[in-house]
Amino acid sequence: MIEISATEIKKQKKLVLTWSITFLTVFPLLIILGLLMRLNQGEKISLGMDNFYVLMTLHGLGMAGILYSIAFAALWYLIGTRYAKLNTGTGYFVFFMVLAGVAGLVIATLIGKFGAGWYLLYPLPFKGTFWPTWATGLSIISLIILGIAWLIGIIHLVYALAKEFGGFSNLLGWQYIRKKEVDRELPPIVLITTVSLVPGVIAFIAGAVFLVMFLLQHFEPTLAFDPLLLKNLIFFFGHTLVNITLYCCIGWVYALLPEFTGRPWKVDKVVVYSWNATFFFILFAYFHHLYMDFVQPLPFQYAGQIASYLSAIPATAITMFGVIAQLYHSKVKWGVIPLSFLLGTAGWAIGGFSAVVDSTIAANKVLHNTLWVPAHFHTYMLGGVVLFILGFLFYLSHSKEEQEKDKMAKFGLWLFVIAVHSFIATFYRGGLRSIPRRYSDYGGIRIEYTHSTGALLAQIASVFIGLLLVGLIIMYVSIIVKLSKRKIPSAGA
């Protein structure tokens, strides 16, 4: 087993703080874009159709990117300070490459008005666009830079772990199945990191393939690729990226929650089977994005629904019950950290349930591309991932006692959570009322009921977005105050 020195820990801490500050800066700006979109759909402001789609594209890409990045950075930090030696130089290299990619996307969208939506469905970025071709080119190149950066980060992390734990199959926990007694216990966070990040590698490779095809198309406009093949690649990439972001967060919930409940949370055979199954569900669930492509081979359609349904088994029976086993009648003190983890798990459960509803082909027929879709993924991203991340940031900034006493932070958290679910409720209601997603406004719809309901829900949403921003600011104050205090004593240590 490796010893990690205090100076090494300090270096890793600086790296994770760099990521955290970036996240804390970018996140509210992207929320403001969401607010502007809802205000436009509510007919309270008039952005123009072009600006709406530009903001939508930046919001989607930005959120998916920044959340994945911080989730990855948090795992990197916990592993680099506990289980394996990670090179901070590589860490900063990834950071600056991500920054460069993000800068490219900001220029392509805000200046170049690139507005193809976050998943750039082929051939939309090349046909009938309202932005110049350079903006498409810059977006593609920026995304390639991001993909390479993340790929380097993942490979470094998984490689270091494999070296430390004696081979890749040990990272997946197979020694628990082969042997009665394992030589060395596998920390759950290591297992989960592997199960999340290795599908990530496969997804980034698929992403690289389609981005290179895009690049070819960009320079040779007469090319025509198969749109169904590209749809498969794009959704495999997009779905997997978003999905593993959530699983990364679960990694640190397993690692940190026991510190507050005083109960161990260990890997055993059941946990190994369950996460190895999850590995496959992550890879196959993406088919549920193509149900409305009736020409997609039927076995894939079945695979989509079956994998989506089955993924609920390990997620709920193992992980969520694990959370319950941690907390039920435990002597946990409800500080802001365990609270964020519990509420995040609840968001994950609710968002997961509505995702399962939507992954039913028979229901997808009338829910696909309505507001039900943003409803479900905002529930588990904003109501799940973001709370896990906030919990992690509280973990960085607060001591155990501080997080228990911090009433302000807890108030901010509750306000945020209630406002988040109310905001998302407008998406759910919209989906049930068949309001289409990705409409800059609903004025073009000739069904008066649909138009007025869509606009009204968007107005209500805007109020709750305002409230959730207030909750967020309260938590920010608490995090930033504590972080800046913490820096001074640790500098001397």
Partner 1 sequence: MSFIIKTLIFESVFQANPIVMIQFIPLLTIQTFAAVISFIAGALVTLVVFFLIFTSSKEEDKTSAKHKVYKMRGRYFFGLVLSIVIVLLLTLRLLPYEKFQGTPEETVTVVAMQWMWKMGPGLSDKKPAEFGGAGEITLPANKMIRFVVTSSDVNHSFGIYNSKGVLVTQTQAMPQYNNILEHVFDEKGEYHILCLEYCGLPHGLMVGKININ
Q: Give contact residues for ligand HEM (rule: CB under 6 A).
A: 31, 34-35, 37-38, 56-57, 59-60, 63-64, 67, 117-118, 374, 378, 381-382, 386, 437-438, 465, 468
Q: Which does 468 bind (CB under 5 to 8 A by kind): partner 1, ligand HEM, none?
A: ligand HEM
Find out whether 250 and 188 touch, Cβ atoms under 8 Å.
no
**Residue 219's binding partner out of partner 1, ligand HEM, none, with CB under 5 to 8 Å set by partner kind:** none
CA 126 to chain centre: 28
Task: Read off the tokens for 102.
Answer: 């993000």
CA atoms within 13 A on the CB side of 226: 6
Distance CA 255, CA 373 (A): 31
Question: Of these partners, ligand HEM, partner 1, none, which one is at the site of residue 118 (CB under 5 to 8 Å by kind)?
Answer: ligand HEM
- Spatial contact of 430 and 457, defined as CB atoms under 8 Å apart: yes
| Options 353, 411, 414, 476; binder of partner 1; rule CB under 8 A | 353
For residues 284 and 303, the answer to whether their CB atoms sit within 8 Å is yes
303 binds partner 1 (CB under 8 A): no
How far from 433 is each of 441, 453, 454, CA to CA, in Å? 15, 8, 8
- Least spacing, CB of residue 60 vs ligand HEM, in Å: 3
CA distances from 236 to 134, 151, 199, 361, 410 (A): 26, 16, 10, 18, 37
Letters for 46-85 (x = contact with partner 1 by CB under 8 A, - = none) are ---xx--x--------------------------------
22 contact, one of partner 1, ligand HEM, none, CB 5-8 Å limit per kind: none
What's the token pair of residue 401?
């006692």
Binding of partner 1 by 159 (CB under 8 A): no
What CA–CA distances, in Å, run from 21 to 90, 268, 399?
19, 36, 19
- Among 87, 321, 407, 490, interactor with partner 1 by CB under 8 A: 321
Q: Which one of residues 182, 408, 432, 473 is an interface residue with partner 1 (CB under 8 A)?
A: 432
* Residue 263 in the binding site for partner 1 (CB under 8 A): yes
The binder of 51, among ligand HEM, partner 1, none, by C-beta within 5 to 8 A per type, is none
Q: Which residues contact 425 (CB under 8 A, 6 or more apart)?
A: none
Number of H helices, E strands in the chain: 19, 0
Residue ranges in 368-407 that form contacts with partner 1 under rule CB under 8 A: 368-370, 372
> Which of ligand HEM, partner 1, none does 453 bind, CB closer than 5 to 8 A by kind?
partner 1
Q: Which among ligand HEM, partner 1, none contacts residue 201 (Cβ within 5 to 8 A by kind)?
A: none
Identify the sign of the CA torsion 152, 158, 163, 164: positive
Which lies closer to partner 1 via its Cβ, residue 231 or residue 239?
A: 231
